[in-house]
Structure 1
Amino acid sequence: MNGSRILTVILLFVILSFPGFSQLRGGGEAYPNLHPDKEAMARFQANRFGMFLHWGPVTLRGTEIGWSRGKIVPIADYDNLYKEFNPVLFDADKWIKTAKDAGMKYFIITAKHHDGFCLFDSKYTDYDIMSSPYKKDIVKALADACKKYGVDFGIYYSLADWHHPDYATRYGGDPRPVSESIMPRYVQYMKDQLKEIIVNYDPKVLWFDGSWEECLTHEMGMDLYAYLHSLKSDVIINDRIDKGFQGIEVRNNANQEKYAGDYATPEQRIGAYQVNEPWETCMTICEQWAWKPNDKMKSLDTSLETLIRTAGGGGNLLYNVGPMPDGRFEQRQTDLLLQMGDWMKINGKAIYGTKGGPYEPNPDFVSTRKDKTIFIHILNKNLSDLTIPVPAEIKIIKASDLGSGKTIALKVENGTLKLNLDKGRKLPYVLALETSADTGNLATITKK
């Protein structure tokens, strides 16, 4: 038996023996018994709201990270931006405290994007933050700040690397034949760096991207998933480690069984209603992932509705911020995040640790649930009353306004609940319906 097969057998034995073993997603067809840690996945889903952060030397040009290399910014220019990158106003504590105050429970930083530049200190490349004028490990500072503030730390790592000489392409859509690259050597480079990341920063989540590239194969994705679990059994890994990523919707069961990855990642849109499979919408607070001068920013109302509709559909929201070249968040973005945090201080009970539904999201409201309570998030300012069917398995005992705690008169007739609403209330607001039994297994109810 060769070394890799021995490693696989040992790995499967360790994972199957681990008390947190879960049946949700996992290692794909090559590793059918390799699954994410149950407790780690439950914690990830309970967090519901996180900060995504795209940053690097490209902010000196204000163009999109990775994608502008060779298309908007000449390659020679782009690849030398790191020599000017000196974010002297970067403050990891301020970043993570802002995330914490926004109500965010986890944080994910682009340690390496498609452009190949590393924001961490890597012994496997000189194309990293230690070769810039800044010369400080940004990822280490953020990992330490997350521990300080009790925010779960995660790392984004692109499988693509248009700067690395052994990788198959130089930029998105590069027509260079795959045969000119030395991909086995590049794959080893990835594994070496990812081991560095796990050993040095202990991330709870690894967020991959780039798997659509032709030179990255399904077999590579499954192998990498197993390798990472051999290093850290409870790390949570997204679906973009493998070819099963669809970009919009949650994967179906057939894809889940074939491809590696623990949760789906619809991008720049709220995922479809799915309460039995883990997923996470990743979305920008402005329009571009990396910082852009005067980029159009989403309103507070849009931001809150995005968070609420994501939770009501059963998913997490990973909301992206792009810091400026000097290391600061734009004040307008910070202000918006803190306003979201003010809402979460009052209504977070209806977001954190909840399950989507049982009412399918609709234009008027969405619902979340936890234990014996159903939370109704009102989103239509013109809605004068709430008329909804009551599941046969439960009784509605009490209705109240979550923000004020004020009891609301309720009327139930022929299995239908009707509540009069205050049309003058500022949206969004949340109603709490206390029920007679646990709501977790209630079937989905579609509003007629």
Structure 2
Amino acid sequence: MSLRGCRQSAGPTGMSSSRLIHMSRCGSATASSWPDRVRWSPISHSERIRLDSWGVHRVSETKTGPYAWFNEAKFGMFVHWGLYSLLGIGEQVLLRGRLKPSEYRRLAERFTAPNYDAHEWARMARDAGMRYVVLTSKHHDGYCLFDSPGWELCAPRTAPGRDLVAEYVEGCRAAGMPVGIYYSLQDWSFPVMFDGPDADPGELQRLVRKIHDDVRALCSNYGKIDLMWFDGRWPLHDLWRPVEIDDIIRELQPECMITGDRLHGAPAQFPDSPFARNERPGYIASSERRIVASTVPVPWEVCEINQHRWWGYVKHDHHYKTATELIYLLAEALGQGANLLLNFGPMGDGAFPQRAREQLEGLGRFTERNAEAIYGCTGANGLFEYLTFGDMTMRDETLYLWVKYWQGESFHFAGLANEIRGVRVLGRHDIEVTIERGGDHIWLRGLPELPPDPDITILAVDCDGEPRATEWGRYRLHGGDYDMRVWREWVRS
């Protein structure tokens, strides 16, 4: 799915989610009757932010307390690393390549991780502007990087001879980074995963017991864990007994955040889950490779990859995204009110590929210049039209325009109701911007012909209060309230 502006998800009828919300409030419509039957008083701006954009509403719930770090962080590193990294064909090669599991498991004899330096990983993440890390402690193949109770296929009992998660936690703490642990519920070491749950109830119970024991170990052996990140809920769903897993985490790590949608399932499919009812604190939602907020009003993130397709290392995938492409992903996620959890796949020996290091260096230069528009900000794409220039974030009385499409010496936009106290070009103290206003239109003058930042130039617009839209500003063709009548005067101008 392409990552574009408003990210409305399509509903069962093919209409966007905001359109479905509007119709559910106004009654059904047909092609011949909809202008008469649709109520022309649209969804309010504040309600639209809660339903579609989520950013301002969600962040306000977690600005203080044990979960505040997540909304402050905004940018994290995801790391997929395991036996599959030795083969360099992605993290799912065991199944997708139809490899013999008995032969695949022998990779554990070669997985010595001689160049694994968790302190360096954490430093690279921090220097790139990332503020938390999530590591795959176990992927679907069943190999554990930690000391899995009673399980032979784990790092301490195979070639590494040590607990790789323990080193990871130590590296994160040394860099001052919150610790996230990914854990896949699926385990392809157990045939019952493929035979079906009724084929061998005893083996199913052994699998579920192992998972619960693993979660208990991960929450007991490494000190404070800040985020438990789950995957692989399908196809057994509630047979994993996710509420019990949730209980284990809260018993042992009461301030740990949990990817509620990935543990308990989509709210539409599992409406009675604790996540769907949002009845426990500390949940986040995570959208995989698309910017779509959960229907549950919790903080959220978008997880994306630095290469073309796979999360684990791919030796011959030369389509590494450029630093600019990754910065675009960051802008789009933050503009919609989400964090960006950006994935990297180290090689089998534990070292990061050179291309990945270059990506991280490029990200670091950008985030250092533009930190003010990133950390602790809320998404502002729901405020007024933004697609013609890029994306928007905001903090207090400042609106940040992430300008992808530079306009030259004069920059025009419309839809902001506030008086403007001043405009700054982040990272450039030598540029003096003047402001010209004509009705609803705003022109920023005195800018250079070429963009000051070759990736994205951020203009900090200091307002006379919290940024707010004009009466018509919230209406647009895509991504906001929809009422064609607001353009009746404009179309005749």
Q: Same fold (TM over 0.5)?
A: yes
Q: 1:323 aligns with which of 341, 346, 356?
A: 346
| Aligned CA distance change for structure 1 residues 266 and 111 (closer, same or farther; 3 Å) | same
In structure 2, the partner of 1:158 is: 184
- The correspondence of residues 64-143 of structure 1 with structure 2, limited to 5 A, is 64-66=90-92, 68-69=94-95, 71-143=97-169
Deviation digits for residues 275-306 of structure 1, max 9, x if unmatched? 96421111110121111112121011111110
| Aligned CA distance change for structure 1 residues 320 and 88 (closer, same or farther; 3 Å) | same
In structure 2, the partner of 1:5 is: none
Hey, what's the Cα distance between the residues in 2 that align with 1:132 and 1:156? 21
In structure 2, the partner of 1:16 is: none
The aligned amino acid for 1:445 is R
Query: After alignment, is 426-435 or 253-262 more displaced?
Result: 253-262
Hey, what's the Cα distance between the residues in 2 that align with 1:209 and 1:227? 17
Instruction: Name the SS for the 1:434 alignment partner.
Output: strand
Quick check: 1:184 aligned with 2:208?
Answer: no
In structure 1, the partner of 2:394 is: 369
In structure 1, the partner of 2:434 is: 409
| Aligned CA distance change for structure 1 residues 372 and 273 (closer, same or farther; 3 Å) | farther
- The correspondence of residues 31-430 of structure 1 with structure 2, limited to 5 A, is 39-66=65-92, 68-69=94-95, 71-164=97-190, 168-169=192-193, 174-176=194-196, 178-182=198-202, 183-201=204-222, 202-213=224-235, 215-217=236-238, 220-238=241-259, 239-244=261-266, 256-257=276-277, 262-271=283-292, 277-287=298-308, 288-295=310-317, 296-357=319-380, 358-359=383-384, 361-382=386-407, 385-391=411-417, 394-405=418-429, 406-420=431-445, 421-425=447-451, 426-430=454-458
Deviation digits for residues 30-74 of structure 1, max 9, x if unmatched? xxxxx9996233211210111000011112222222453374322
Deviation digits for residues 117-153 of structure 1, max 9, x if unmatched? 1101223311100122221211111111111111111
Deviation digits for residues 63-89 of structure 1, max 9, x if unmatched? 222453374322121122112111111
CA RMSD of aligned residues (A): 3.1
| Aligned CA distance change for structure 1 residues 385 and 114 (closer, same or farther; 3 Å) | same
Hey, what's the Cα distance between the residues in 2 that align with 1:114 and 1:190? 12
Instruction: Name the SS for the 1:146 alignment partner.
Output: helix
Instruction: Name the SS for the 1:39 alignment partner.
Output: coil
Does the CA contact (< 8 Å) of 1:54 and 1:323 recur in 2?
yes
| Aligned CA distance change for structure 1 residues 275 and 397 (closer, same or farther; 3 Å) | farther
The aligned amino acid for 2:200 is E
Hey, what's the Cα distance between the residues in 1 that align with 2:207 and 2:63? 29
Q: 5+ residue gaps in structure 1?
A: 1-23, 25-34
Hey, what's the Cα distance between the residues in 2 that align with 1:431 and 1:307? 16
Instruction: Name the SS for the 1:69 alignment partner.
Output: helix
Instruction: Name the SS for the 2:455 alignment partner.
Output: coil
Note the C-alpha offset of 1:243. 1.6
Note the C-alpha offset of 1:218. 7.5
The aligned amino acid for 1:402 is L
| Aligned CA distance change for structure 1 residues 301 and 228 (closer, same or farther; 3 Å) | same
Q: TM-score, normalised by structure 1?
A: 0.82
In structure 2, the partner of 1:445 is: 474
Structure showing greater Rg: 2
Query: After alignment, is 367-376 or 271-280 more displaced?
Result: 271-280
Does the CA contact (< 8 Å) of 1:368 and 1:376 recur in 2?
yes
Hey, what's the Cα distance between the residues in 2 that align with 1:188 and 1:440? 52
Hey, what's the Cα distance between the residues in 1 that align with 2:434 and 2:475? 24
Q: 5+ residue gaps in structure 2?
A: 1-49, 51-60, 478-493
Note the C-alpha offset of 1:352. 0.8
What fraction of aligned residue pairs are identical, expressed as a percent?
A: 28
Hey, what's the Cα distance between the residues in 1 that align with 2:411 and 2:274? 42
Hey, what's the Cα distance between the residues in 2 that align with 1:276 and 1:416? 34
| Aligned CA distance change for structure 1 residues 273 and 352 (closer, same or farther; 3 Å) | farther
The aligned amino acid for 2:420 is I
In structure 2, the partner of 1:432 is: 460
| Aligned CA distance change for structure 1 residues 65 and 386 (closer, same or farther; 3 Å) | same
Q: TM-score, normalised by structure 2?
A: 0.74
Hey, what's the Cα distance between the residues in 2 that align with 1:223 and 1:360? 45
Note the C-alpha offset of 1:437. 1.6
Note the C-alpha offset of 1:264. 1.9
| Aligned CA distance change for structure 1 residues 442 and 117 (closer, same or farther; 3 Å) | farther
In structure 2, the partner of 1:3 is: none
| Aligned CA distance change for structure 1 residues 318 and 245 (closer, same or farther; 3 Å) | farther
The aligned amino acid for 2:68 is A
Does the CA contact (< 8 Å) of 1:37 and 1:233 recur in 2?
no
Hey, what's the Cα distance between the residues in 2 that align with 1:411 and 1:70? 59
Hey, what's the Cα distance between the residues in 2 that align with 1:441 and 1:106? 33
Hey, what's the Cα distance between the residues in 2 that align with 1:37 and 1:119? 33
Does the CA contact (< 8 Å) of 1:372 and 1:435 recur in 2?
yes
Deviation digits for residues 4-37 of structure 1, max 9, x if unmatched? xxxxxxxxxxxxxxxxxxxx9xxxxxxxxxx999
Does the CA contact (< 8 Å) of 2:422 and 2:461 recur in 1?
yes
Deviation digits for residues 233-287 of structure 1, max 9, x if unmatched? 111001200121789xxx9x99832798822211122336999642111111012
In structure 2, the partner of 1:17 is: none
| Aligned CA distance change for structure 1 residues 255 and 57 (closer, same or farther; 3 Å) | closer
- Number of paired residues? 402
Hey, what's the Cα distance between the residues in 1 that align with 2:237 and 2:220? 25
Does the CA contact (< 8 Å) of 2:267 and 2:275 recur in 1?
no
Hey, what's the Cα distance between the residues in 1 that align with 2:91 and 2:189? 13
Note the C-alpha offset of 1:219. 8.0
Does the CA contact (< 8 Å) of 1:350 and 1:375 recur in 2?
yes
